[in-house]
Amino acid sequence: MGGNAFALASAEGSPRLPTPRMTPEVYHHLKAICTNRLRSCLDACTKVATLTEAPEKSDYGDVDFIISYPTKSASSAPNWSDLANAIGAAGFILHGPKTASFAVPQDGSMHPERAVRYRLQPDGSQDLPRSHQLSQISYAQIDLELVEDELFDWHTFYASYGDMSSLLGHIVRNLGFTCSDRGLWLRLQELDDCKRQPIPLNIADKDGTIFLSHDKIQVMRFLTLDAEVYEKGFATQQELFEWLGKCRLINWEAIDIRRDNADEKRREEKRGVFKAFLNDWLPANRPSAMTSDTMANTSNDQHSPKPKDTKTTSMKDAKARTKLRARRSELAQEAVTFFAKRKEYAGRHAVIVRDVRNAIAASILKDILKQLTGKNDNKKLNEVIRAFKKFVRVHVASRQTSDENVEADPSALHADKEGVEGDTRIVLEISEEGHPDTESEVGKLLSERQVTDEKGRVETKYELLDRDAVTRWLAQHWEELKALERQKRGTAIDIDGQTKQLSLG
């Protein structure tokens, strides 16, 4: 939290508590004292640890502690007031149910009175009376976070060394992984692709991500980061960068694309460690096998006055993104094998592919329905689309397939479009029994193709196998679908009403 929490905090009748930055000597002295005080007042099985600061810091804003709590505990939060008194704090701030800050005298002494609760008050706010009296004692900000037992070791790894977690997350993100305070996750390509569709698909992130592990040793093994080197620690920033630089997910195609992103550059300028690693250390340690053209592109990143050839840059980006997508696919397969998640991957992948196709098909059908009805009432349009998803079975087959039922079905639709393999027939069948959303077949109406945009991004484009035929079918049957949806909903309401009456009687 940077050691600034108490600068924006007030407590009625109490002075403000200054928390100036600490010298290394004060920092390490307080870290040892507070560790002992915490261990003496907590249960013997509770783990206590400090997060390791970034190397080569000349001063410190706060001391970060984490303590464990049982995952299944009914009441995990300690009595924060008692905890503040136990470590000798003059005041404390609650940031949430599992995080708090304490102001402890920098000389390591115990505050003689009970700790006072301070409340955060942004500049200019008049909600709380702000004391103009400033304590003459210098305090140190001690930040404490509760972490579940099973995540304790992971959290000490993830949250240590300052911006290490952000750098690691930055490295793995473009290759389909997310590194968070709860572990390493795999993001399915389809999840990222659906966010670039021109229509909102409302696919939740949880439906396109797979938890891989929060075992720090296993994660480091997968990333080819040396666990022994990490455990020994990093005395210098150079040592940390050298360790991070061995991560096998460092991908130069991703880095080159990122370096042409103005927003990314602005963010890096504000974060010194980011800038030092991404702009300085990585280019200086780029593999010698890289071509001179690529190396020139890297050096030109430092605000070169030479104008860029937009067409050449786009072509390079297109090639880089194609390679990046292929590498991402390879790593996804390696990850689900390494972490034994193949079965979960297969199931999650099938579901998101189905959900994306169903959502896109439903959106296209809704646009057609608007044209057919001349109405723009979302509630009524959604009613018909809901009925289509629930009551319509979709069969797609070759014209050469002999099927007496299909031949006899008056709703058989003939599609013969470029991009569709062979001479394809679509059969739409209304089934009054209905089926749940998870079994909706509306996505079968789509064909898809991969296209590359001007920036080299690969996108999936979808269209109906035969828009004209589907439009004709909808024109004939949309009122029937609406009536069926209302009938089934009315029946369900009646049944529910009868159930309520029986329960009341």
What is the CATH number for 110? 3.30.460.10
Q: Report the predicted TM-score, pTM, of the whole model to 2 decimal places.
A: 0.82
Looking at residue 75, what is its pLDDT? 59
Tell me the pLDDT band of 497, cut-offs 50, 70 and 90.
very low
Residue 65 lies in a domain: yes
pLDDT at 43: 87
Task: Say if residue 48 is in the same domain as residue 100.
Answer: yes
User: Parallel, antiparallel, or unpaired: how do β-strands 99-105 and 116-120 relate?
Assistant: unpaired
Q: Is residue 22 part of a domain?
A: yes
pLDDT of residue 418: 41
Q: Same domain, yes or no, for 142 and 194?
A: no
User: Is 126 in the same domain as 226?
Assistant: no
In terms of domains, do 206 and 328 share one? yes
Q: Is residue 156 assigned to a domain?
A: no
- The alpha carbon of residue 212 and the mean position of all alpha carbons in its chain are separated, in whole angstroms, by 14
Do 249 and 102 lie in one domain? The reply is no
Does residue 409 lie within any of the structural domains?
no
Same domain, 492 and 361: yes
| 372 and 260 within one domain | no
When comparing pLDDT for 428 and 298, which is higher?
Answer: 428
Angle at 391 between CA 387 and CA 396, to 5 degrees: 115
Among 122, 149, 176, identify where a domain stops: 149
Q: Examine the domain organization and report whether 145 and 166 are in the same domain.
A: no
Together in a domain, 128 and 207: no
Classify residue 4: in a domain, yes or no.
no
* Residues 454-481: tens digit of each pLDDT: 766 777 889 999 999 999 999 999 999 9
Q: Is 390 inside a domain boundary?
A: yes
Asked whether residue 295 is domain-assigned, the answer is: no
Is the four-CA dihedral 104, 105, 108, 109 of positive or negative sign? negative
Kindly report, residue by residue over 171-199, the tens digit of the pLDDT. Answer: 999 899 999 999 999 999 999 988 888 88
**Which of 339, 370, 405 is where one domain is finished?**
339
Q: What is the pLDDT of residue 289?
A: 44
Domain that holds residue 473: 353-397+423-502
The whole-number average pLDDT for the span 68-75 is: 73
Domain-terminating residue out of 88, 122, 149: 149
Q: Is there a single domain that holds both residue 327 and residue 245?
A: yes
Give me the chain's average pLDDT, please: 84
Exposure string (b/e) for 57-88, b if CB count within 10 Å is 16 or more?
eeebbbbbbbbbbeeeeeeeebebeebbbbbb
Q: Is the pLDDT of residue 294 over 50?
A: no
- Phi, psi (deg, nearest 5) at residue 252: -70, -30
The CA R_g of the chain, rounded to the nearest whole Å, is 30
The answer to whether position 292 is within a domain reads no
End-to-end CA distance of the chain: give it in Å, rounded.
59
Do 131 and 98 sit in the same domain of this protein? yes
Shared domain check, 80 and 180: no
Total number of domains in the chain:
3
